[in-house]
């Protein structure tokens, strides 16, 4: 299972395909809004706020992007809101990631499928991390996994996705790669967003955190947490170079979390093409390259139909992984 997953994750992280930029559209959002399907402080919140700010800085939208945090169900509350109540809203975009594809793959949004919305574009890929509180005695990923092997009930790991979601899967993949036979014994506790999960770690309620580089960075900078493993093929560049990979510690686990947006299924073609074009122009900008470098985002450049096909492929592959580790039948 681990090798099958690694091939998938490498494909996700390595896709540097430059999709042709859609022609500029005349549509201009009157009241641009981005839903972050989690509480403030996590990766979806970062996606909405940073992209909204950069779009305005670059003159790609003329008004401030309103960010609405709509937590619940690992993104399910926001998905249902868009499908059922805002299906034709041309001004609305929603932050999404591998976590969204994971929940859709597992049928965790009751009655909803990926085809009920329109997939816009990616803004990069965010590598997974496993971290502990700065004062934790645990220094390495093998130490943490050895503790789980010895007594799974003694170690709780917090994440910002629902049980069976992307943050949960990353830990299970690492445990599987380390030889923990029954990965379902790993004690994972779900919170509404990475920020809340880190808060529980700092409170001592859990022993470790699973999330992504962009979620962890602020807490690392403040000295609150310590990253014990990045789930990347090799060490990340720049200020992230000090973070050890799981692979170099003998745990052959890789996890890349794409970040991007979907839009309501009934959005007009004019509005859809305009949003795709705006996000593509943002991605190509020097300003966004700086944001990516500062937040540990790896290249992933997909827009429109190409992104729609990519999400469909991701959902299919995650279904296969989830069956393999017993998350779904």
pLDDT over 90 (residue 186): yes
Q: Are 41 and 219 in contact (CB under 8 A)?
A: no
The three-state DSSP-derived secondary structure of the chain is CHHHHHHHHHHHHHCCCCCCCCCCCCCCCCCCEEEECCCCCCHHHHHHHHHHHHHHHCCCCCCCCEEEECCCHHHHHHHHHHHHHCCCCCCEEEEEEHHHHHHHHCCCCCCCCHHHEEEEEEEEEEEEEEEEECCCCCCCHHHHHHHHHHCHHHCEEEECCCCCCHHHHHHHHHHHHCCCCCHHHCEEEECCCHHHHHHHHHCCCCCEEEEEHHHHHHHHHCCCEEEEEECCCCCCCHHHCCCCECHHHCCCCCCEEEEEEEEECCCCHHHHHHHHHHHHHHHHCHHHHHHHHHHCEECCCCEHHHHHHHHHHHHHHHHHHHHHCCCCC
Q: Alpha-carbon distance 315 to 292, whole Å? A: 25
Do 42 and 61 share a domain, yes or no? yes
Report yes or no on 218 lying in a domain: yes
Rg of the chain on CA atoms, in Å: 19
pLDDT at 255: 87
Cα(164)–Cα(188) distance, rounded to whole angstroms?
9
Residue whose structure tokens are 């994440």:
159
Is residue 175 in a domain? yes
Boundary residue ending a domain (213, 228, 249): 249
**Same domain? 142 vs 215:** yes
CA distance 36 to 43: 9
pLDDT at position 158 over 60 = yes
- Domain limit, last residue, from 184, 218, 249: 249
Where on the phi/psi map is residue 59: left (φ > 0), alpha (ψ -120 to 50), or beta?
A: left
Is residue 2 situated within a structural domain? no
Instruction: Look at residue 309 and tell me whether its pLDDT is greater than 90.
Output: yes
284-297: average pLDDT: 94
Q: How far is CA 278 from the centre of its chain?
A: 21
Q: Do residues 115 and 141 share a domain?
A: no
Residue 121 sits in the same domain as residue 132: no
Judge contact between 71 and 77, C-beta under 8 A.
Answer: yes
Phi/psi of residue 251, nearest 5 degrees: -110, 105
> Percentage of the chain with pLDDT > 70?
92
The answer on 167 and 85 residing in a single domain is no
Q: How confident is the model at residue 174 (pLDDT cuts 50, 70, 90)?
A: very high
What are the distances in angstroms from CA 282 to CA 32, 108, 178, 306? 15, 32, 40, 17
CATH number of the CATH domain containing 131? 3.40.190.10
In a domain, 215, yes or no: yes
Asked whether residue 307 is assigned to any structural domain, the reply reads yes
Residues 140 and 121 in one domain: no
- Asked whether the beta carbons of 121 and 94 are under 8 A apart, the reply is no
| pLDDT above 50: residue 14 | no
Structure tokens at 138: 């645990």
Model pTM above 0.85? no
| 5: pLDDT strictly greater than 80 | no
Q: Is residue 298 part of a domain?
A: yes
Q: Are residues 240 and 140 in the same domain?
A: yes
Domain boundaries, position 208: 127-249
In whole angstroms, give the CA distance from residue 91 to residue 85: 14
Residue 105 lies in a domain: yes
228 and 283 inside one domain? no
Better pLDDT: 325 or 291: 291
Residues 222, 312: Cα–Cα separation, whole Å: 38
Shared domain for 163 and 97, answered yes or no, is no
Would residue 63 count as lying in a domain? yes
Least confident interval from 135-139, 159-163, 222-226, 288-292 = 159-163
Q: Is 70 exceeded by the pLDDT of residue 22?
A: no
Q: How many domains does the chain have?
A: 2
Are residues 93 and 56 part of one domain? yes
pLDDT in tens, 43-100: 999 999 999 999 999 999 999 999 999 999 999 999 999 999 999 999 999 999 999 9
Residues 70 and 92 in one domain: yes
Mean pLDDT of 182-186: 89
Question: Do 222 and 264 lie in a common domain?
Answer: no
For residue 87, give the CATH number of its domain: 3.40.190.150
Residue 238's pLDDT is what? 85
How far, in Å, CA of 8 to CA of 151, rounded? 31
Domain boundary, last residue among 215, 249, 283: 249
pLDDT value, residue 164: 85
């Amino acid at each position: 299972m681990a090798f099958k997953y690694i091939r998938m994750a490498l494909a996700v992280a390595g896709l540097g395909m430059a999709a042709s930029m859609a022609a500029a559209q005349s549509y201009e959002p009157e009241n641009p809004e981005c839903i972050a399907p989690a509480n403030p402080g996590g990766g979806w919140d970062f996606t909405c706020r940073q992209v909204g700010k950069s779009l305005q800085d670059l003159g790609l939208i003329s008004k401030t992007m309103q960010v609405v945090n709509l937590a619940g169900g690992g993104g399910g509350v926001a998905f249902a809101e868009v499908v059922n109540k805002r299906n034709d809203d041309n001004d609305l975009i929603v932050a999404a990631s591998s976590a969204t594809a994971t929940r859709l793959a597992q049928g965790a949004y009751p009655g909803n499928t990926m085809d009920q919305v329109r997939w816009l574009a990616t803004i990069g890929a965010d590598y997974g991390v496993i971290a502990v509180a700065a004062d934790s005695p645990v220094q390495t990923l093998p130490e943490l996994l050895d503790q789980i092997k010895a007594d799974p009930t003694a170690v709780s790991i917090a994440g910002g996705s629902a049980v069976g979601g992307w943050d949960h899967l990353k830990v299970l993949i690492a445990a599987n790669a380390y030889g923990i036979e029954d990965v379902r014994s790993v004690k994972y506790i779900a919170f509404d967003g990475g920020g809340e999960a880190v808060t529980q770690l700092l409170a001592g309620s859990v022993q470790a955190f699973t999330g992504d580089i962009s979620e962890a960075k602020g807490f690392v900078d403040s000295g609150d947490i310590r990253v014990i493993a990045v789930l990347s093929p090799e060490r990340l560049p720049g200020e992230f170079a000090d973070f050890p990979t799981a692979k170099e510690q003998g745990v052959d686990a890789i996890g890349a979390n794409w970040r991007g947006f979907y839009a309501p299924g009934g959005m007009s073609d004019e509005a859809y093409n305009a949003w795709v074009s705006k996000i593509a122009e943002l991605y190509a900008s020097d300003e966004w390259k700086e944001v990516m470098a500062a937040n540990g985002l790896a290249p992933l450049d997909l827009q429109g139909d190409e992104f729609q096909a990519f999400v469909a492929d991701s959902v299919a592959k995650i279904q296969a992984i989830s069956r393999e580790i017993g998350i779904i039948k």
